[in-house]
Amino acid sequence: MSSKEHVFKIYLLVYIILGVTIGLFGHLSAKWAQYTYITAASGPTVETMGPILVGLVIFQNIAVSFLIGIVLAFLVGIILGSNLETSLAKIFVPILGGFFGTLILGLFSILIPLVLSDPSQIFSIVSVITPWFTAAVLSGITGGLGGYIVSGFS
């Protein structure tokens, strides 16, 4: 296995692990919000605002996972990019790793809460596709810039 393939696999593994843990955290925080604002509360306002709040908690967790993907792409681009031999590999492997890594991270952080939570309190998965893809593109760019920084110092 070449060093490029090895680094790319490490990249994806990091994103898979974080995606699953962020997804599980999203589900747990949605359950916490559901208990706090729907189950334990009462009155007509709870019936209206409770599901909205739980949906916002899930939305916030997914949005934060996209931000984490972008920051992680930069850091991993610097760290893992330094292990590659050529300047071109130091730039393009982090571009691909950041892009596909954020797609994977997003997949888990979106699907786990959507599958495990109450569907009446969640937004449509179609509405998240554009921000998810945009975060992946930004992660690829940011990862490439991290790799570029490393390539300039070797």
Confidence grade of residue 142 (pLDDT, cut at 50, 70, 90)? very high
DSSP annotation of 85 reads S
| Calpha distance 23→105 (Å, rounded) | 9
How far, in Å, CA of 19 to CA of 106, rounded?
6
pLDDT at 40: 65
The pLDDT confidence band at residue 121, using thresholds 50, 70 and 90, is low
Question: In whole numbers, what is the pLDDT of the chain averaged over residues?
Answer: 86
| Alpha-helix residue ranges (DSSP H) falling in 35-128 | 44-81, 87-116
Q: For residues 106 and 61, is the Cβ–Cβ distance under 8 A?
A: no
How many Å separate Cα 15 from the centre of its chain? 8
pLDDT tens digits along 70-107: 999 999 999 988 888 898 999 999 999 999 999 999 99
Asked if the model's pLDDT at residue 141 lies above 90, the reply is yes
d(CA 8, CA 18): 16
pLDDT tens per residue across span 23-79: 899 888 888 887 777 766 666 666 677 777 778 888 888 899 999 999 999 999 999
Under a CB-based contact definition with an 8 Å cutoff, are residues 138 and 103 in contact?
no
Residue 46, pLDDT score: 65
**What are the extents of the domains in the chain?**
3-152
Alpha-carbon dihedral sign for residues 33, 39, 42, 46? positive
pTM above 0.75, yes or no: yes
DSSP 45-65: HHHHHHHHHHHHHHHHHHHHH
Local structure of residue 154 (DSSP, 8 states): -
Instruction: Tell me the two tokens of residue 153.
Output: 């110092």
